Amino acid sequence: MALSNFVIPKIFSIQTKIHIMRRTWEFFQTVLGIILRHPVTGATILPILPDGKIVLVRRRDTGKWSLPGGVVDWGEDIATTVRRELAEETGLELQLIRRLVGVYSSPDRDPRMHSISVLVEVEALGNFKIKDTREVLEVRAFIPEELPLGNLSHDHDRQLKDYFNGLTTLA
């Protein structure tokens, strides 16, 4: 059962319902950690369009802007994940993986679970079309000076800072 479909009796106040939902989510995170016992691996994509703009997606769960990306599926390599996630979240087609920007593994980088993210810069082409509407609300291209830095999802502010500083990071 999806957490969003979890039924809480109407007699509880909204604050109590929020508390119950939060505690339930914490329980599921703990169980997931016990079952998996290893961080989840994913790819984060820094898509660069031919005009130099950087593509971000607005997440449905938090409403925050984010670099596109997602979990590596069983049997996939990172490059395949990058191609798939870029198409699912933005509708863009991968042209070239330019470089590895970093590997980010801090246990608190993703508020949902311990995950390891491989950040790559890519050249992308095409028209915006969100295929994964469960996760993404909006896709937009920004010139670097207009990126909504300071309030991005996960650790994407740090990832973009590392990119702009020309670093290859292991964090």
Q: Which residues are catalytic?
A: 138
Distance CA 83, CA 97 (A): 9
Phi, psi for 123 (deg, rounded to 5): -90, 130
Specify the residue for token string 């311990």.
Answer: 114
What's the chain's length in residues? Answer: 171
SS (H, E, C) 25-76: HHHHHHHHHHHHCCCEEEEEEEEECCCCCEEEEEECCCCCEECCEEECCCCC
